[in-house]
Chain A
Amino acid sequence: MFVSILINGLVSGAVYAILAIGFSLIFGVAKIMNMAHTAFYMLTAFLILGAITFLDVPLPLAAIASIIVAGLLGVVCYKLCFDRIKVHETAVMIISVAIAMLFEETILLTFGAQYQRIPPFVEGYFELGGVSILNQHFFTAGASIATLVGVWLLLSKTKLGMSIRAVDQDREIANVMGINVTKTSMQVMGISVILAGVAGAVTAPTIMVNPLMWTNPLVIVLSAVVLGGLGSIKGSAIAAFILGYAETLVVFLVPDGSFLRGAVSLIAMVLVLLIRPEGLFGVAFEEERL
């Protein structure tokens, strides 16, 4: 049981962390509260499904291509919608919900409402401490953690990463230090959606994909962002792991816990908002960043 909790928590936590980081990045850099973030996660899963069933593309290639297509679509959404109205933060949020619904309906019309399966990237299972764990779960955890390391390297070691962090902290000063904030915002939109796509691709084989699969992760991402502190990239990643493990603990330790799974992050979000609205690591909502 201990091993199961450890691995399952790690898998969920790492995937949530990828989603939460992507969401935080585009919010921090462009002030876009992208409610369609996890819709891109759902979309990627279905792009993969479409590619392997209709086009007979091998799975790894389908996954990579789908992630790239999703990223490009994200940039298109940015250019067509967000970029024009991004000063009106409420309008941005409404538009992003509309985009998510659009994706959902399109997928519903194309693929139907039924739950469908995507084959695993790696077959078989592995015995560890008396429990058997699907190799796919190791793959999901490994790929997610590799992605997190990749994001960390990008942000801390590259010029693009340095620009992103500068814009995230103070757009005006980044601007007068020679950073093209508009361009950086667009790049971050691409990166953010690619991260959502990676999360979708590595998760898809572990769940049943369906057009509504974006709503629950969205709640988790929002909770992670509240828990970690709106605006704190690192905070939201840590919070995502906390939520991943909290959910797993509830599923394994509470009788009928799997029914409560979805409630865990909601409860966490409400509690944090009531007790410590600035989150564990972040700045208070009131203390707006420039």
Chain B
Amino acid sequence: MSLYLEVKNLSVLYDRAIVLNGLSLHVNSGELVSLVGPNGAGKSTLLNAMSGLIKWQHDTLKGTVSGKITLNGSVKFDGAELINLPAHEIARKGIILCPERGRPFREMTVQENLEVGALFLDKKVADDNLEKVYALFPVLKKRSSQVAGTLSGGERTMLSIGRSLMSEPKILLIDEPSVGLAPLIKDSLFERIRDVQGMGVTILLTEQDVSFAFDLASRNYVISRGKIIAEGTSQELLANELIRETYLGL
């Protein structure tokens, strides 16, 4: 297997606060990798940096306090460097972010949200993809003409995964999919993420819920204060007393 996605020495500073501190990780083609760590460890920042959002914030907010962002290091996808690409070009290469809590376009209908995902594909392909997404998430079909702002938390997460799938992504970056969901919905989401992987999509997901992440992923990273402090399969990580107690709280 080739090195599909490779993050090397990635650093992000908000003003002088170091949020990512020379972080490195990789994801192979077809893999489902998880990144677990506590609140504030830098998980969202990592995914945002990979999808170009941090660069976008840096460029757009230049000259304001929130624009004082330093971004260093390398993010390579299939051999091509992404770190200096604008977010929309990263997306068009097939790297799609499913943000924390879904962040649907709240005033659009569910179907319109999905259509935004396939804006750059032919109508015919977009229609096919819509069918596929509806088959995967029947609840979205049921709610297709409902305004997305009225969806529940689980539905929003499913909508954001569906929206990403519309664009035929190569790799999904899913940010804390299980956060705030009821156990039953969590289980169903778990299965759907499996299905997405089964469709051949490579996945990197972040989680605070260690068991949710470990049961899904074939390989895991543990992040703490902007650094990867451990890596391995679930068994390997759980076998390590220190990591289990200090970082995973199990």
Contacts and interface: CB of A to CB of B under 8 A. Distances in A.
Nearest to B112: A162
B63 A87 contact: yes
Contact of B60 (A87, A162, A166): A87
Instruction: Tell me which of A170, A173, A176 has the highest count of chain B C-beta atoms within 10 A of its own C-beta.
Output: A176
B93 to A, nearest CB: 9
A28 to B, nearest CB: 11
A148 B115 CA distance: 24
B223 to A, nearest CB: 21
B52 A177 contact: no
Interface in A71-112: 85, 87-88
Given A175-B53, A178-B120, A169 B87 contact: no
A140 interface: no
Interface residues of B, number: 33
A165 B64 contact: no
Interface string B152-176: 0000000000010001000000000
Contacts of A181: 56, 88
B106 interface: yes
Instruction: Tell me which of B103, B117, B119 has the highest count of chain A C-beta atoms within 10 A of its own C-beta.
Output: B119
A176 B105 contact: no
Contacts of B107: 165, 169
A181 B56 CA distance: 10
Contacts of B38: none
A95 to B, nearest CB: 14
B53 A172 contact: yes
Interface string A185-198: 00000000000000
12 contacts: A159-B119, A163-B116, A165-B107, A165-B112, A166-B108, A170-B106, A175-B56, A175-B91, A176-B51, A176-B53, A176-B90, A179-B88
Interface of A: 85, 87-88, 159, 162-163, 165-166, 169-170, 172-181
Given A85-B63, A176-B91, A176-B99, 11 more contacts: A87-B62, A87-B63, A162-B115, A162-B116, A165-B105, A166-B108, A173-B103, A176-B51, A176-B97, A179-B88, A179-B119
Interface of B: 51-53, 56-57, 60-64, 67, 86-88, 90-92, 96-97, 99, 103, 105-108, 112, 115-117, 119-120, 163, 167
